[in-house]
Amino acid sequence: MSDRPVDRSYQAETPEQARSAYDDWAESYEADLCATGYRIPAMIAAVFTRYVPADAAPILDAGCGGGIQAEPLAELGFGPMTGIDLSEGMLKVAERKGLYAALKQQVMGERLDFEDDQFAAIICSGVITPGHAPPHSFQELVRIARPGARIVFSLRSDARQKPEYPAAIDGLTHAGAWKHVFSSRAFHSMPYGEPNVLHKIHVYEVL
């Protein structure tokens, strides 16, 4: 395994490996990603403001990292926002920004420590992807979101996407757990660093 935190984050096979990679990367993560032209935060914030009402509260930022995708939402008055992430180092970066009403260390893929129907909207940027949150993470997001809540998430959409992720989304649709609202076109999410990586932003409404 490469020693670079970015490579370790891609290659992680367990939550412990992902946590260690992001703890080590936390202080330089945003500078490194922004140098690649990281587009997901801007795209997901634009979609979120179009499909989530301004008074939706509370909001969960699942896999919040250092909070880069929450910055425009906070500036526009969305909130209060709760952030969860498995990396304590990333949560410390987010805490310094003062955007979140609460920040908690939690692991997507395991049961989340929230009541059913707790959140009015969920944003999830760059997290539900191999080496990070597994496909079944969607089930817990649906459980803790209220009926009518919109879950706005990014998903890799190039040839290297693992079929288990779209299959999990379709499974929840066929089960009547949520319905599709919107999907963006595929865009180059890191055009100056990883030009082959494409993402889409999706919006699903919990039923």
Ligand X SMILES: C[S@@+](CC[C@H](N)C(=O)[O-])C[C@H]1O[C@@H](n2cnc3c(N)ncnc32)[C@H](O)[C@@H]1O
Contact between 83 and ligand X (CB under 6 A)?
A: no
Nearer to ligand X, 179 or 192 (CB): 192
Q: Alpha-carbon distance 78 to 188, whole Å?
A: 27
Contact between 22 and ligand X (CB under 6 A)?
A: yes
Q: Alpha-carbon distance 122 to 173, whole Å?
A: 17
For the CB of residue 92, give the shortest distance to ligand X in the complex, in Å.
Answer: 11
SS3 4: coil
In the region spanning residues 126 to 185, those forming contacts with ligand X, defined by CB under 6 A, are 126-127, 132-133
Contact between 68 and ligand X (CB under 6 A)?
A: yes
Residues contacting ligand X: total by CB under 6 A = 22
Question: Cβ(34)–Cβ(133) under 8 Å?
Answer: no
Task: Select the span of 71-79, 82-90, 143-151, 193-201 touching ligand X (CB under 6 A).
Answer: 82-90
Q: Cβ atoms within 10 A of the Cβ of 135, count?
A: 19
Per-residue buried b or exposed e for 49-67, using 16+ beta carbons within 10 Å of the residue's own CB:
eebbeeebeebbbbbbbbb
For the CB of residue 62, give the shortest distance to ligand X in the complex, in Å.
Answer: 7
Contact between 87 and ligand X (CB under 6 A)?
A: yes
Contact between 107 and ligand X (CB under 6 A)?
A: yes
